[in-house]
Structures are given as structure tokens and as C-alpha cells.
Amino acid sequence: MFISEDRQATVFNSETTFTADDEQSAENDAKKPAPEANKDCFIDIVMLKGSRRLHNFLLIAMILVCQLININCGNPVNEGEGGRFMFVVADVAQGLAQFGVAGARAVVWDVGPPGQYAAWRAAYNSLGNPRIELIAISHSDLDHYGGLERFDAHINWNGMIAVSPYEDTAKIRAASSTYWRERIRFQFVTGGDTLKIFSGTDIICLWPPANINPELPLDGRERNHYSLVFSVRHGHSRALITSDIDSVAMAKIAVQSEHGLRAQILSVPHHGSAGSVNSLFFAYASPEIAVISCARQNVYGHPSAAMIDALAYQGMRLMYTFIDNTLTFTSNGYYWHY
């Protein structure tokens, strides 16, 4: 582009040379107010800085309040009273063995038959060898208490056994290992008793009833009928342990407990026997998962088709120890994870 010499002089001297018109134009520009966009931008910056200061102030204030009044501001799912609780159904073939574990302490429900002690011990070791505060022997059938004969001095246990008052404690003691035989102590439990072993977890005995007078010693059928039943409650999470009860006992428990039977996990009675099917009991319990403990090949035909049909009709998910092996369910007080 071509520029004249006169125009060049004007441009080159524009920093120091002004005409009268230029001075008047500059004065007019100086009197004009600042553009509105600039004002808005300035206000936004001030407000942004102010909101950040307010956010930081509120955050610090909340932390101080929590410290001053000793409020637990942690996640209640991971922390707090009761912590986490594990419910384990061990694979002990044609037997029954279950664990409840909180921290470094445990409760055991039955210990399986003597021939499956290695499987029971493996499950116990996998849990970190927790201190066993109580072993509940549901009844004196070998597939539930027989493992006691193999217990050695390395089992971290205080020697306490819970049984119903209708059980033959001398029989259980005599069948225990030499090391533990004289160290065992018995505690009687009946329906309505609550075992407070862990903080935040209630272990409630639902069966057998107190103040009855069955003929002793119990025969095999009666041992099943009067075997111990527990509702384990950790916050909103519940598991129902039913041992070997029959359909008659189930009907009585259902009428007595009604919705108190509610549980997400059901340890199915008597290895899935046809003699332990009761629709009312299953309806009140209404579990999401039903666990059947039995051997793959057994002479009893467990689990029975009648049991499988009854559980499936209620919409439960069926799990089997001979297929799924040892099953571990972990509660945070709100739900079970497995």
C-alpha cells in the first residue's frame, strides 16, 4: 500500500503531536463512562473470589464443629459402631458348619463331621484364625458336632459351647478331643435368649422353646425337631440359621415369630430334606438367598426335589456348598456382599 509523505509525518508524530480537533476528541473520550462489559467482568471476578472465601470458611467451620462436639463424620458403611460382619457357610460335605466373624473374634454354629475337619479348619484359617468366643452345637448328631474330636491346642477358642437344655452334654464332652474335653464349659440357650458377643450384632435364639419337658434323652427325630435356630442381625442385614428342624417346628416358629423371621440369607434346614419344607416359614423369612449344605453324592437324596421346588417358588436364589464351595457373605450393616 502506498502512503504519502505528509501522511507518514502525521503517523510518525502521532505520539507527541495533536491538533485542536484531536484534543477535543480526547476530552470527550475521557468523559465517557466505562463500558458496561468491563463493569460486569469486574463484578464477576469479585463475586468469584468472595464465593471461594465463603466455601473455604464453611468447610473449616464444619470440621471444627465435628471435632468440638465429637461427631463421627466418617462413612457409616465403612466405619462406626459394629463395623463389618461376615457370615460364612463352610463346605463340609454332608454336614453343617457356619461362622460369624467381626474383627478378630468369631462365633461358630456347628463344626461338621469328623471326616470333614480338614475342610472346617481350612475355612477357619482363611478367616485369619479369629478368637472363637462361642461354639453353638445345634444338636448332638455327628454331622454337626463330630469335628470337636479333632480340635487341637492351636484352635483359638475359650472352650464355651452353647446348647439347648434338652441336649446330652455328657455325650458332646466325651466326643471332644482329649485336649479340650475338660476345658469345655456349657451354656444353655432357648427361644428368646440373645447372645451379645459382638458390638452391633445380635444373635437371637428362636428355638427351641423354654419350659417344656420332653422325654430325655432325645431320640434322633426329636434331636432334629428341637435343634437350635438363630436369627443373626447386623444392622439391616439378617441371616437365619435353622440347623435340622422339621416342618412341625418350622410351623410353630413361623406362628410365633411371624415377620421376625425376615432375613436376606437362609441356611436351609436339614440339608434340604423333604421333611423340612414349610411354606409359611419360607414366606415369613422371604430370603433372597437360600444356602443348602450337603454332599454332592449322599445316601439321603439331599437336597430333595420338594425343597428345591418350595424355595424356587418363593423366588429365592439357590446356592449349594457342593457346587459353590465355602460361601462368604459380608455385611456393612445395610446389605450383604458376596
228-269: pLDDT as tens digits: 999 999 999 999 999 999 999 999 999 999 999 999 999 999
DSSP at 199: T
H-only helix segments in the chain:
5-12, 20-31, 36-68, 117-126, 142-145, 169-175, 178-181, 220-225, 247-257, 279-285, 305-313, 321-324
Spatial contact of 200 and 333, defined as CB atoms under 8 Å apart:
yes
* Mean pLDDT over each residue of the chain, to the nearest integer: 85
Q: Identify the CATH number of the domain in which residue 269 sits.
A: 3.60.15.10
295 in helix, strand or coil?
coil
Q: Is residue 213 situated within a structural domain?
A: yes
Q: Which residue has the cell 456348598?
A: 321
DSSP 196: E
Beta strands in 94-184 (DSSP E): 97-102, 105-111, 131-136, 160-163
Residue 130 domain-assigned?
yes
CA pair distance 78, 74, nearest whole angstrom = 8
Answer yes or no: is pLDDT of 104 > 70: yes
Q: Give domain status of residue 75, yes or no.
A: no
Contact 209, 193 (CB under 8 A): no
Nine cell digits for residue 233 = 442381625
pLDDT tens-digit readout, 297-311:
999 999 999 999 999
Query: Per the domain annotation, does 158 fall within a domain?
Result: yes
User: Residues 112-154: pLDDT tens digits?
Assistant: 999 999 999 999 999 999 999 999 999 999 999 999 999 999 9
Inside any domain, residue 50: no
**For the chain, how far is it from start to end, CA to CA, in angstroms?**
81
Task: State the residue range of the domain holding 178.
Answer: 85-332
Mean pLDDT throughout 329-337?
97
pLDDT at res. 277: 98
Instruction: Report the distance separating Cα 137 and Cα 7, nearest Å.
Output: 111
Least confident range from 72-86, 170-184, 267-281: namely 72-86
- Please indicate, yes or no, if residue 234 is contained in any of the structural domains: yes
Q: Which of 42-56, 246-260, 268-282 has the lowest mean pLDDT?
A: 42-56
Q: Tell me whether residue 320 is in a domain.
A: yes
pLDDT at position 275 over 90: yes
pLDDT band at 270 (very low <50, low <70, confident <90, very high): very high
pLDDT of residue 55: 60
Q: Are 293 and 113 in contact (CB under 8 A)?
A: no
What pLDDT, on a 0 to 100 scale, did the predictor assign at position 328? 98
Tell me the percentage of the chain whose pLDDT exceeds 90.
75
Residue 22: what pLDDT? 47
Asked if the model's pLDDT at residue 88 lies above 90, the reply is: yes
User: How many folded domains does the chain comprise?
Assistant: 1
In a domain, 77, yes or no: no
CA distances from 314 to 13, 68, 173 (A): 97, 51, 40
What is the predicted pLDDT for the residue at 83?
86
pLDDT at 57: 64
- Report pTM: 0.77
241: part of which helix (H) or strand (E)? strand 237-241
CB neighbours of residue 38 within 10 Å: 10
